Amino acid sequence: MAILTKKFNTLHDTAPFGSINNEDFAPAFDIAIEKTKKEIEAIIKTTDVPTFENTIEALAFSGLQLDRISNIFFNLHSAETNDDLEKIAQGVAPKLSALGNDITLNSDLFERIKYVYDNTNKDNLTSEQNTLLTKYYKDFVRNGALLNTDQKEELRAIDEKLSLLKLKFGENVLAETNAYQLFITEEDQLSGLPEGLKEAAKELASQHNKEGWLFTLNYPSYIPFVTYADNRELRKEMTIAAGKKAFQQNEHNNEQIILDIVNLRHQRAKLLGYESHAHFILEERMAQNPDQVKSFLNDLLLKAKPAAHEEFQELSAFAKETDGIERLEKWDGAYYAEKLKQQKFNLDDEKLKPYFQLENVLQGAFEVANKLFGLHFKEVQTIDKYHKDVQTFEVINQNGEFIAVFYSDFFPRKGKRNGAWMTSFKSQYVRNGQNERPHVSIVCNFTPPTPSKPSLLTFQEVTTLFHEFGHALHGMLANTTYPSLSGTSVYWDFVELPSQIMENWCYEEEALSLFAKHYLTNEPIPMEFIKKIKESASFLEGMATLRQLSFGLLDIGWHGQDPSNIQRIKDFENKEFKEINLYPDIAENAMSPSFSHIFNGGYSSGYYSYKWAEVLDADAFEYFKENGIFNKKIAHQFEKYILSKGGTEHPMVLYKKFRGQEPQVEALLKRAGLLK
């Protein structure tokens, strides 16, 4: 406990994972919560007239110890969880929710904030200070500061229930992912599978004391299996297993949890005076309201649908011609898409993977960051790790100044949730003249090395690494005063710009030549492969766009209306997907019960932001392409106005300062091959 509540005596103040025990967390949370309460009480009890400094700034720097403990704990809960941590999370979530409400519903504190908001000459504040003041005032109003006592109690009860339901949702998805195993003993059933995947499956089986091959629903196992396995029945089994996670009649079913979450979110929004949860959320987004989101998604849908239907017909005809498949099913999609891609471009992941050894790709991301922003990454062994697979780096700028600590965690394991994400163990901020530098991490689930091969990435995994690294740059290059405006603390529909723009370098010869080298011979990736990577970038893009838009529309469907009349998850999804679905429905599958982004993550009413950010990133990268993909001047502008600024100004203001204009949707349509 003591180690978590005192200043860490470590290099760069990094978390001392090796000295932290699970039982340290609960009492440390209690101490930090009490300390935060005292800091808030000190602000309220100040007898001086409320000012920006003694109220707003004091509030901005309150709870730093609690934030630090929370960052460490909840990052472990996502990347290295166990039964003990899950129990602690269930215990601490209501306490954190209650503290949040204690602060935002405190009428004395709000009075001071309101006084500063009403009586401060905004011209005397910096743009960052103005943003912080407005943010606090609106946050308090949006979280119930103007409610009466009974309404505030109702809000507290809703928030406590939601915090537990969201945790339970995530734990159910993880439990269902871990519960399924496909064990194969007959080698002929492995037909079509890449050697690396078979080797990894054999290794996994041996870890479970079995002779044969073991496949799971973790992405490095599941995705290549349904992409390459010739055995259609096994592809079907895996696809259905993935699609019914938390949608089975067992203790991990998420159906009622979803209905409870959406109804509680709606009740909360109505209590605060909003038409729906989406109206509440989108008030603080670039998109502003659900109508604008639906208009944006439906406009793209209109442009993507004809191409998607043409592509689906082509894929169906190809499957019929190749194997006599009369009706293309969901378990056929990835398999025949890969075969058609090979036929069209003579290019598949198995040809590319030898050129994408994980260590080289990571080094490539570092070199791109060096060419653009002058950053140097030096691996250090003297920083504590929470797992042996984690790597730790010092990040230094071109002037030799320390910028950040960077953690990478790339391989799946039992206590780690699926997917890929960027996170932070410590935020950047400036206090008492000291620029506290951030500790940033990217977490992925790539195929681990085997006894005979290093970790070799698919091209999609390469873009995933660059994507998360883009988020990491947003965190590492942060240079703001206040922690709540630092790094990725921006509007949700702006946060994906730094990540998605980085993916573009993966398609450029000038960047690929830095790191795409054969793991055995060190030969650079052949020019013909680079050409085909670029040519195939928009392959089946209409179908991919339709899929992404369907998720955004499902999200707005759940959150943009009164959900109280929704009885059955499956019926609701069928209605929402009616005009979008290409494949026949699978009765025993549903999307929502494992849709963690919107029910356990931060994307409720915000899933559209992936497409929104694609417009931003396509337009921004077009600027680079016009002037050179490693153009120092444009990179400096991107760092100055986007990466370093965090949420200190409205994102459209920042974007226009960088680009000189508002983003143009045509750049995305052109890149996606959807402009006729």
As annotated, the active-site residues are: 468
What is the C-alpha to C-alpha distance for residues 657 and 81, in angstroms, rounded to an integer? 42
Task: Enter the tokens of residue 389.
Answer: 């697979």
What is the C-alpha to C-alpha distance for residues 264 and 267, in angstroms, rounded to an integer? 5
Strands 376-379 and 391-396: antiparallel
Which among 279, 453, 432, 451 is positioned nearest to 357, based on CA atoms? 453
The upper half-sphere exposure of residue 41, i.e. CA atoms within 13 Å in the direction of its Cβ, equals: 7
DSSP state of 135: H
What is the C-alpha to C-alpha distance for residues 426 and 441, in angstroms, rounded to an integer? 10
Measured at the CA of 509, the angle between CA 504 and CA 514, to 5 degrees, comes to 95
Which among 533, 424, 571, 537 is positioned nearest to 486, based on CA atoms? 424
Assign 174 to helix, strand or coil: helix
What is the C-alpha to C-alpha distance for residues 328 and 591, in angstroms, rounded to an integer? 19
Residue 169 dihedral angles phi and psi, to the nearest 5°: -55, -50
- Those residues whose C-beta lies under 8 Å from the C-beta of residue 98, and which sit 6 or more positions away, are 156, 160
What is the C-alpha to C-alpha distance for residues 243 and 585, in angstroms, rounded to an integer? 11
What is the C-alpha to C-alpha distance for residues 241 and 181, in angstroms, rounded to an integer? 9
- Which residues on neighbouring strands pair with residue 409, listed in sequence order? 443
Q: Is 455 left (phi over 0), alpha (psi -120 to 50) or beta?
A: beta
For residue 359, how many other CB atoms are within 10 A of its CB?
Answer: 14
Burial 147-163 (b: 16+ CB within 10 A, else e): beeeebebbbebbbbbb
CA 667 to chain centre: 24
Burial of residue 30 (CB within 10 Å: 0-12, 13-18, 19+) is: middle
DSSP state of 447: P
DSSP state of 124: G
Measured at the CA of 46, the angle between CA 50 and CA 61, to 5 degrees, comes to 75
What is the C-alpha to C-alpha distance for residues 134 and 49, in angstroms, rounded to an integer? 19
Please give the single-letter amino acid code of residue 638: F
What is the C-alpha to C-alpha distance for residues 130 and 121, in angstroms, rounded to an integer? 10
Q: Is 222 left (phi over 0), alpha (psi -120 to 50) or beta?
A: alpha
Assign 379 to helix, strand or coil: strand
What is the C-alpha to C-alpha distance for residues 221 and 201, in angstroms, rounded to an integer? 8
